[in-house]
Structure 1
Amino acid sequence: MSMRNSFLVSKFVRLLCLTVVWGCSVTTYGCHPAGGFGLYKEFAILPLQEEQKVDSKWASYLWRQSARRVTDKNSLTEVEKPDGQFRVYVHIDPSLHADYAVRTEGGKTILTAPTEENMLWLVYQWIARMAEEDDRWQANDLEPAIIGLNDGARSFDFAYRSIYSPSMANPDMQAITANRHVDYHWGLWGHNLRKVFGSDENIPETARALVAGKRIPTQWCFSSDALYKAIESYILENYGDGTKAAPSLFAILPDDNHEVCQCGFCQKAGNTSANATPAVTSLLRRLAVRFPVHSFYTSAYATTVTPPATSLPENVGVILSAIDLPLSFVTTQGKAYQDWTNLVSRWQKVTHRILVWDYMRNFDDYLTPYPCLGSIQNRLRTYKRLGIWGVFFNGSGDDYSTFDDVQSFVLSSLLKNTELDVPQLVKRFFHRFYPQSGDLLAAYYLSLEDQVRNRRATLEWYGGISDAVNAYLSVGDFQQFYTALDHLSKTAGEEERRRLNQLLTALNFTQLELIRSGKNASLQASEFLDLLKGYKSFPNWSRYKEANGLLDEYVAEWQRIRFHATQKRNKLSGQAVSVLASDGNRTSPVPAWTDGYYGFPHDYHLHWVITSQKEWQLVIPKGQSQRSGRMVLSFLHAPAWKIGSPSEVKVFQGEKLLGSWKASSAPDDFSIVKAVVNTKAAGSQGDIKIIITSGHFKKMACDEIEWYEGNE
C-alpha cells in the first residue's frame, strides 16, 4: 500500500472511531486457569462419565474438531495423565435446567448440555473461545465465541431462534450456531396449505371456504375433514409422526385475505364473518392430539388476530408479526407499541409459544448499508421482558445483502443473550474474517449505527436512498469509506478479498442510487455501473430487493433511461410546476417533475410523485411556451403497488383546451407510460393547467413533465 493510501485509511479510521455508549455488558470471559493455558503442554478431552456412550461420543467429536484446528497435534490427547494436562470434560445431562453450562476450575473445564443439539453448538463455541485464549488453536473458519470460560449454567433468552439470510442458508451453519431455518425445520411455512394437496386440481370443494353461499378458491374451510386428512397424510408421508426423526413445525394459516368460511360446521365452531380463529384453532387442536411430538402454529393476523376463548395444547402456538412496530431505539413509545403488547398479552393467556416474526432488512434495497443492530437489540430486550418464546428474523433469504455476515452473527448472538455488547461483537467479527480491513469496516459500520442511535432515527422496511441519507448515511463519509476500502482490498488475502469484492460490488449500487437521487450528481455513473455488473460472477446475486428487483433489469434501466437526452430543448427544464389543491391554492413547486431525472419503472422511491386523487390538477406558470408543440408526461404503471397510469390528460389555458391524450389500453406489468399531448399555441398571458384523470387504480405516479415547441 502506498504512503498516500495508508494515510487515507488511517485518517478515515481515526475520523470514525467512536466511543459507543450503548451501555451493554459483554459475557464475562473469565475465569482463566491459574497461570493461563500456556502452562499446560497438553489438552486432554475426556467424557465426564465414561460409562455413558453419549459422553464418549461427544468427547471424541470435540477431539476430532479440535485436532483440525491446533497447530501442534501433540498438544491434544484422549488419555488422562497425572500432570501437565488441562482437562476438558464433556457431559450430556438431560436434567440440566439450562441450555448449557461451562465451569472452569484449576486445571479443568466441564462442558455440559442437556441435548446433543446444544452440545454441537457448545463444542464449536469452546473451540472458538480457545482460539482467542491460546495461540496453539486456530479457528479462522468459526465465528467468535460468546461463551465465557466460567459461565456456569445459562439459558438462551429465546427458545426458538431463526434468521432467514444468506449467511444462515447452510444447514451446517444453522446447526453450529444453534439456529433454525424455515426451509429445513418447518414442514409448512407461511400461506402454503395448498402444498398438502400437491396441486389445485386435487383440492376438493369441501376443503374450500363457503362464503355468501358459494365455495371460493381463495380461502379454506378449516372444519373440513378433507383438509384435515390431507394435512395428516402430508405429515405422515414427509415427516412421520415425529418419534423416529426430528420433530417438525407446521404453520396452518388462512390464505392472505379477509374471507372467513361460513359453513354450518365453522359457524358451530364459533366463526363470525370476520373471525376465523375458532375453526382454525379447532383444527390445530385436532392435529396436536394426532401428532403430539410435532408443533403447530397459526398467526395473529387478519381473520385470526383474535385469540381463542380457551387455552391451546402445549404443542400449539401463534406467530405475531412485528411489522407495525417502528424500527428505532425508541421501541417502547407510542400507540403502535401499546397495541402490539396488548395483542401479545391476550395470546399469552392461551399459549406460551409466542413466535415473533420480525424483520432485519430494507426490503426495497438489500445493497445499501442498513445499520439495524442497535435498534433490534432494543426490540429483543423488549421481547424478553414480555416473555416472548421465539423470534424469526426475515432477512433477504438467499440473496446477498450488504453486511449480512456481521449482522447475522450479531443477531444470532443476541437471540441467545440480549445483553451482549454489540460494538464488541461487530469488532470481533470483522477482526476475525477481515484481518486487513477489519478496523476500517468496524469503524464505519459502527458510525452508521451511532447515527441511527443519536438521531433516534426510524429505519424504513421499504425505503429508498433518500430515507437512508435522512436517517444515517452521510454522502461524504460514504465516499471516503468506499475509496479507503477499495485501496485496502487490493492488499487483502484471498478469502478476505473475495468477501470485499462482493461488498464493494454491492456498494456500487449505493453509489448509483446517490447519483440518481441527485445527492452525488458530480460523480460519473458509468464507472460504478460497469463495476456493479460484476454481480454476475457471484452466486445468489440476482436481486437487489424483495419484489421486482432483478439486477439485470436495474442495469438495463440505467442503460436505457439515464437522464434527459433533450434537456436543453425542454422548455420546462428546471421550471416551477405546482399542484392545484382542492381549495384553489397552489402547493410549493415540485422539483422532481422538471429536474431532468427519470424514475425507474421498478422503483417508486426516486423521482416519482404519487397521489391518490381521482383528478390531479397541475399548474405551469404563464409564458412558458407560445408555439404549438408537444407535451410529454411520464407515468408509472405498477399494478403490484396499486399504481396505475391515467385514463386521460387535458391541457388548458384558461377555458381554452390546448390538447388532450387518452389511454388506449393499460400495460399488464411494470412500465413507464408516456402521455404525449399535442398542444396548440399558448398565449403569453394565463397559467397552463394540466388535468390528469386516474385510471383503474386509485394511485397515480408522475415523473418528468416536458414541453417541446414546434416539431422537436
Structure 2
Amino acid sequence: MKNSSNQFKSVNSLKVLFCLLLFPFQFNSYSKTIPLVTNGKSDYVIVISSKETESEKKAALLLQKYVSQISGFGLPISNQLVKRKKAIYINISNAIQNPDGFSIKTKNESLFIEGGSKKGCIYGVVTLLEKYMGCRNYSATYKDIPFNKNINLPEINLTDAPKNDCRIVYIVDKVGQEFYDWNRLNSVDEIFAEGYYVHTFGKLVPWQEYFKTHPEYFSEMNGKRNIDQLCLSNPDVLKLTIEKLKKEMALQSNENYWSVSQNDNFSYCQCEKCSKIIAEEGSPSGPIIRFVNEVAKQFPDKIISTLAYEYSRKAPLITKPAKNVQVMLCTIELNRSKAIEDDKGSESFKNDIIEWGKICNHIYLWDYDIDFANSVSPFPNLHVLQPNIQFFVKNNVSAHFQQANASVGSEFSELKVYLLSRLLWNPNADVSQITNEFLEGYYGKASPWIKKYIEKLESELKKSGDGLDIYEHPTSHQNTFLSQNNINEYNTFFDNAEKAAQNDATQLLHVKVARLPLQFAIMEIGKNDMFGPRGWYTEKNGDYTVIPEKVQMIEDFYSVCNQANIDHLNESGLTPKSYYESTKRFIDVQVKGNLSFKKKVTSSQTPSPQYSKGDLAYLTNGVRGDSNYKVHWLGWDGIDFDLTLDLEKTVKAKTIEISSLWDAKSWILHPAGVRCLVSENGKDFTEVGNIQTEGNQEKADVNKVFLFNAPQKNIRYVKFEVKGTKQLPQWHPSAGSKSWVFIDEIVVK
C-alpha cells in the first residue's frame, strides 16, 4: 500500500517477517487464538448496541477500517445484540469508571472491548490495533500498517486507563480527529467553549466599547488608567462579565469550561482597592481569584478557568479557588535544559505548584516544549519531558497542555507528539522503548544516525551547562553544543543518515526535514559572524566573496520546506518563502559601491540595548537584517526618532535607502512614515522624500525598503525622520500597548 503522498507506508514480506519477530504474541503464537481473519476472509462481526453511541460507533468504524487495510477484509458492523459465536463486542460499560479507560478480553471465540463513558471504546480499539496487530501511526501523514491475510489474536485480558484526565499536546497543523484519537489526546476545542480558552478579559469587557466612557473599568498603573487589563475590584466589571458569560453560555449551552483570564501582557491593576487586596493576599493573583470566585458562584454547573501566569503565578495567601474554578499554572519563565525538580533556578515555581496544590481542586498545567522564536532550530529538551510530567502529576496535576506548537518542520515535532502523548497517558512509560520504536519506524535504516545526533546534542548540552530559553536564538549556543566542531560531527551523522535512507524517498525526506534545524543554526550563526570564520563571506584585498556551499544550503533548505509542505518556521508565522527571501537579502552585502559602508550614524533617541546592543554601527555594516529581529536590527519602543548619517565627505549619490521590519506577534510594526533629508554642511537640510506606510499593517511584508532618489548635488549628511506607530492598533491582541520600530541597513549608492 505505497503512496507517494506519505499517507501510508508499504510493508513488504521482509517487513512482515520483522513484525512477526517483534510481536511474537500477535500471530499464531498462543495455544488458544482467535482466528479473526483467515486467508483474507472472516466470519466475525463487530457488534455495537442499538443506541449506537458516538464512542462505540467510532470505535467500530476504526476497527473495521484497519482490519480491512491489514487483511483486505472489511468486518461487517451490526447493532443487533444477538448472541453470536464469533463476534467482537464493543460497548460502553458502567464497570469502567475512568471515562477514557477500557478493557479488552477474549472469551471462547469472541472478543469484548468495553470502554468508559467518553472515549474508552476508541482507545481500546487503538490499543488492540497497536499491541496485537502491529499498526503504528507515527504522524498525521505517515502510518505503518502491516499486510497479512491472516490475523490471529491471542488470549487477551487487558485493562488500562490514563493517569491524566485531560491530555493536550498543542498541534498547529490540521491533523484530523483520528490522529488525536490514535494518540489518546484531547484538543482545546473539545474541552473549552469556543473563543473562551485563555486571555479573555478583552473579550468579556472590551476596551473598545468601554474605555472612553468608563476608564475606571480598566487597570491603573502609576496613577493612570490603561487598557492592558481589567480593574477586578470594580463591581461593574464583575456585573458586565457575568452578563457577557450568560449570553455566551446560552449560545454554547453544552460547553462546561469557560475562561475568565488575564490578557497577555505584564500589567495588572494597582489602584487603591486592588493594591490593598494584593497586599492582603501576598500576590497579584489575589484580586483574580476573588473575582473569578464571584463569577463561579453564578455558574455552579460550569468550570471557570483562569491563569496563574507570570505576575499571577504565585498563589494567594488567604482566598482559595472555588470548587468549580480551574487554575492554569504556567511554566513560561523556566529553563528547558534541566528537569524542573532538579533545577535550582526553578525553586520559585516548585513552591508555587505546591502552594496551589494545597488550595485548588483543578490545576491545569501549561508547559512549553519548543523554541517559539525559532521552532526550526536545535532545542535538545527531549530528556526533560518525562521527569517534568512526573513532577506535575506528583503535585496533583491531572490536566495538561503541552505547548509543543507541533507542526511539520519544527524540531522533531512528530517524535515529540508521539512521546508526549504516551507520557500523558502513562507518565512512567519506557521513554527509551517509545523513542526507539518511533525512530526505527519513521526514519527506517537512517534511525541509528538520527539517534546518534539526538544523543550527541543532548550530551553536549549537558556538558555545557547551558540553559534553554523558549525565545532563544541559536547564536546563544554557538560556543557550546553548536560549536563548529560539534556541527561538523552532526553533519557527518546526517550525511550518513541520508545515505542510509536513499532508497526510500519518504524516509529520506523525513531525514532531510530533521536536518533543517541544524542547517538553520549554521546559517543563523553565519549571519551573526558574516565576515568571520563561520560567516557567509570570505575577504581578500577588500573584496568579499560569498561562500558557494552556504548559498547552496539556503537553496536546499527552501527546497525541503517546499517538498514537506512546511508553512511556517516560528510562532510568529514566518514562512519558508519569507525566510528564504530575507536570507538572500541578508547575504547580499552592501559593500561595493555603498558610500555609507561603515560610516557613522547618530540618533536623536537611543535605541534599546536589548537588540544588537543598541550599537548604531549595525546600520552601516553592509549587512541587511532579515526576518529575525534579534540579529542585526536596532529597535525603538513607542517613539519617533531621527537618524543622521555622516558620509565623511561630500559625494554625489543616486539612491538612498533604509529598511524596517514587521513582526506583529512580537509587537513590531513598520514605521508610520519616513522622511529623508540631505545636507552638505550638516545644518541646512533639504527634503528629498516622505514615504508613508499604507494600510493598517494587520498583514504586511516582513521587510520594507524606504527608497529615495538623491538630488543631483553634493551631499555629506543624510537624515531620516522616522515616525513610529507608537501604539498597537485595535486589530492587535495587545491593542493600545506600545509598538516597536526596528531599523536596519542604510545604503547610499
TM-score by length of 2: 0.65
SS at match of 1:255: coil
The residue aligned with 2:250 is 236
Letter in 2 for 1:230: K
The residue aligned with 1:21 is none
Q: Contact between 2:381 and 2:458, CA under 8 Å: does it hold in 1?
A: yes
The residue aligned with 2:625 is 599
Alpha-carbon distance in structure 1 between the residues aligned to 2:28 and 2:292:
57
Q: Contact between 1:608 and 1:701, CA under 8 Å: does it hold in 2?
A: yes
Query: Post-superposition shift, 1:469?
Result: 4.0
SS at match of 1:276: helix
Alpha-carbon distance in structure 1 between the residues aligned to 2:527 and 2:131:
46
Residues 1:37 and 2:48 are matched in the alignment: no
The residue aligned with 2:167 is 161
Spell out, residue by residue over 1:503-559, the C-alpha distance to the aligned partner (whole angstroms, 9 max, x if none): 566765455335434436455343333334447756874322122624333222233
Q: Contact between 2:289 and 2:321, CA under 8 Å: does it hold in 1?
A: no
The residue aligned with 2:389 is 380
Spell out, residue by residue over 1:433-481, the C-alpha distance to the aligned partner (whole angstroms, 9 max, x if none): 3335334333333433343344443222112222354453432133334
Letter in 1 for 2:625: G
C-alpha distance 673-416 of structure 1, shift in aligned 2 (>3 A):
same
The residue aligned with 1:224 is 238
Alpha-carbon distance in structure 1 between the residues aligned to 2:441 and 2:157:
23
C-alpha distance 154-660 of structure 1, shift in aligned 2 (>3 A):
farther
The within-5 A match list for 1:616-627 is none
Residues 1:282 and 2:293 are matched in the alignment: yes
Query: Post-superposition shift, 1:209?
Result: 1.4
The residue aligned with 1:426 is 435
Alpha-carbon distance in structure 2 between the residues aligned to 1:59 and 1:181:
18
Alpha-carbon distance in structure 1 between the residues aligned to 2:558 and 2:48:
58
Residues 1:92 and 2:93 are matched in the alignment: yes
Letter in 2 for 1:251: S
The residue aligned with 2:178 is 172
SS at match of 2:144: coil
SS at match of 1:68: helix
Single out whichever of 47-56 and 203-212 deviates more from structure 2. 47-56
The residue aligned with 1:549 is 574
Residues 1:71 and 2:71 are matched in the alignment: yes
Residues 1:295 and 2:298 are matched in the alignment: no
The within-5 A match list for 1:193-342 is 193=201, 195=203, 209=217, 218-220=228-230, 223-238=237-252, 240=253, 242=254, 247-257=255-265, 258-260=267-269, 276-289=287-300, 292=301, 294-301=302-309, 304-305=312-313, 307=315, 309-333=318-342, 336-342=345-351
Alpha-carbon distance in structure 2 between the residues aligned to 1:322 and 1:252:
19
Q: Contact between 1:42 and 1:74, CA under 8 Å: does it hold in 2?
A: no
RMSD (Å) for aligned C-alpha atoms: 6.2
Alpha-carbon distance in structure 2 between the residues aligned to 1:34 and 1:170:
29
Letter in 2 for 1:114: G
Spell out, residue by residue over 1:317-353, the C-alpha distance to the aligned partner (whole angstroms, 9 max, x if none): 1111101221122523556422112222332233221
C-alpha distance 540-390 of structure 1, shift in aligned 2 (>3 A):
farther
The residue aligned with 1:192 is 200
Gaps of 5+ in 1: 1-28, 143-147, 576-586, 615-624, 649-655, 682-692
Letter in 2 for 1:281: V
C-alpha distance 501-88 of structure 1, shift in aligned 2 (>3 A):
farther
Q: Contact between 1:166 and 1:397, CA under 8 Å: does it hold in 2?
A: yes
- Percentage of identical aligned residues: 14
Alpha-carbon distance in structure 2 between the residues aligned to 1:32 and 1:196:
58
The within-5 A match list for 1:509-528 is 509-518=520-529, 519=534, 521=536, 522-528=547-553
Alpha-carbon distance in structure 2 between the residues aligned to 1:398 and 1:35:
36
Alpha-carbon distance in structure 2 between the residues aligned to 1:49 and 1:254:
46
Q: Contact between 2:502 and 2:508, CA under 8 Å: does it hold in 1?
A: yes
Alpha-carbon distance in structure 1 between the residues aligned to 2:526 and 2:548:
7
The residue aligned with 1:476 is 488
C-alpha distance 526-114 of structure 1, shift in aligned 2 (>3 A):
same
Query: Post-superposition shift, 1:299?
Result: 0.7
Q: 2:122 aligns with which of 102, 120, 123?
A: 120
C-alpha distance 430-265 of structure 1, shift in aligned 2 (>3 A):
closer
Alpha-carbon distance in structure 2 between the residues aligned to 1:312 and 1:165:
30
The residue aligned with 2:40 is none
Alpha-carbon distance in structure 2 between the residues aligned to 1:56 and 1:344:
38
Q: Contact between 2:296 and 2:322, CA under 8 Å: does it hold in 1?
A: yes
Spell out, residue by residue over 1:138-159, the C-alpha distance to the aligned partner (whole angstroms, 9 max, x if none): 97159xxxxx998965543332
Q: 1:530 aligns with which of 548, 552, 555?
A: 555
Alpha-carbon distance in structure 2 between the residues aligned to 1:660 and 1:478:
55
Spell out, residue by residue over 1:160-207, the C-alpha distance to the aligned partner (whole angstroms, 9 max, x if none): 211112467422222232212224432111223555689955999679
C-alpha distance 469-250 of structure 1, shift in aligned 2 (>3 A):
farther
More relative contact order, 1 or 2 (CA 8 Å, 6+ apart): 1
Alpha-carbon distance in structure 2 between the residues aligned to 1:208 and 1:626:
55
Alpha-carbon distance in structure 1 between the residues aligned to 2:157 and 2:315:
39
Letter in 2 for 1:157: K
C-alpha distance 256-525 of structure 1, shift in aligned 2 (>3 A):
same
Gaps of 5+ in 2: 1-20, 37-43, 78-82, 137-141, 147-153, 537-546, 601-612, 640-646, 676-680, 717-721, 727-737
Task: Work out the number of aligned pairs and report it.
Answer: 633
Query: Post-superposition shift, 1:300?
Result: 1.4
Letter in 1 for 2:288: T
